[in-house]
Structure 1
Amino acid sequence: MKKWLRIILVLVLVSIIGISIYKVIGINEEQTKEQFKEQQGKRTFQNSHPATGMSVNDEKVKVFQDLKETDLKSITSKNDITVINLFASWCDPCKREMPELVKFSKKKENGVELIGLNVKDKRKPAEQLLKDVNVNYNVYVSEDDFLKKFKTYNIPTTLFVDKEGKVQKVYLGELTEKTLHNLVSQVKEEH
């Protein structure tokens, strides 16, 4: 009888320890997710990008819907800050950040405009992505040499451009809505 009692006590003790470890891991995992979201909101620009200081005003782009040609100057001159997000439908981080950009666009400040710039992509998959995400900001298609000219080799990349068309800052990588609001504030404070 004593042997069975010991076995039962050991099983109960092991169960209690197992449940405790499981709960602690769950709590830590949730804290880690919250800490990541908080850190994302505080992220800043990396070191200077070669495109910083360049002008986008003479660049020709096409309106995504009808492929009418326009230049970026007609867009940037209307805004204090134009946020140009370079993306492609084959880019997984681009796909992940797009719903965050939609949220940002709903709450953007006056004088700030977000536009998408589709690069090195095929029309049908890009069209499907925009439809799936229900994009609520203007999207354009870049000329093939845009990435090369602005020394941008990774996407997503986001350019922060002033009213004169000058690239003030460049952000490499995936954005969250919170990070994007933070970065726009930084650009406003600095310029």
Structure 2
Amino acid sequence: MLRTSRVALVPLLACLLLLAGCSSLSGTGDKGYITADGQVTTIPPEERGEPVELTGEDLDGRPLDLADFRGRVTVLNVWGSWCNQCRTEMPDLVTAAAETEETAHFVGINIRDSSTAQAKGFVRAWGITYPSFYSPDGRALLPFSKTIPPRATPSTVVLDAEGRVAASIIGVLPSKLTLTDVVEDVAAEGGGSNG
């Protein structure tokens, strides 16, 4: 009887292991962060939560407050100089920021860089013109805990004019056009402008 039970458990355990491996998120590999497929998730206006509150300092130690960006769409990108996928998507982000400068603000959250020197070098190398929160411990991600999985870098969140999460892209941007289309769609909603 015991032998039969063990034989029956082997296929069951194999199925459980297979199911455990299925996820839309890739593993952390040896880097300690999650990568994903760049899928866009949108939230209808009537289902959006409260405006996101985030204050901190930029890479130069100056105060930075997400509330200052309200009144227009805001694109927030989580990045680190250590992140290979951040390098992959940065040309698209920089181009999208330039193409939508009349419609949207861009701001970054730099995480897990041990010094601002690393982050500033990355900014110079890619010609990034928008500010970034400096958050080496990743605490700046706490207001986005329901949107961005832990250690999911890169990630991009689009906030509406009221500062509410309207869309997210977890993982590398599929393309510059994907992001600019999302920005234009959120901007076209109108209303909610605080100036």
Contact 1:44 1:183 in 2 (8 A): no
Change (3 A) 1:180 1:47: closer
Structure 2: runs of 5+ lacking an equivalent: 1-37, 191-195
Moved over 6 A (4+): none
Instruction: Report the Cα offset of residue 61 of structure 1.
Output: 2.1
Matching of residues 15-164 of structure 1 within 5 Å: 45-46=40-41, 53-57=49-53, 59-64=54-59, 66-75=60-69, 77-79=70-72, 81-108=73-100, 110-122=102-114, 123-142=116-135, 144-151=138-145, 152=148, 153=150, 154-164=152-162
- Which residue identity lines up with residue 131 of structure 2 in the other structure? N
* Structure 2 CA distance for aligned equivalents of residues 93 and 131 of structure 1: 17
Give the aligned CA root-mean-square deviation in angstroms.
2.4
Scaled by the length of structure 1, the TM-score of the pair is 0.64
Give distance in 1, aligned partners of 2:42 and 2:99. Answer: 28
| In structure 1, C-alpha distance between the alignment counterparts of 2:118 and 2:131, rounded to whole Å | 17
More displaced 10-residue stretch of structure 1: 118-127 or 181-190: 181-190
1:40-71 deviations in Å (ceiling 9; x for gaps): xxx862376xxx625323x112122x212232
Q: CA deviation at 1:100?
A: 1.3
Q: Is the 8 A contact 2:160 2:186 kept in 1?
A: no
Identity %: 27
The alpha-carbon distance between structure 1 residues 146 and 140, as it changes in their structure 2 partners (threshold 3 A), is closer
- The number of equivalent residue pairs is 142
Is the radius of gyration larger for structure 1 or structure 2?
1
TM superposition score normalised by structure 2: 0.63
Asked if 1 retains the 8 angstrom alpha-carbon contact of 2:103 and 2:187, the reply is: no
Contact 2:80/2:119 (8 A) holds in 1 = yes
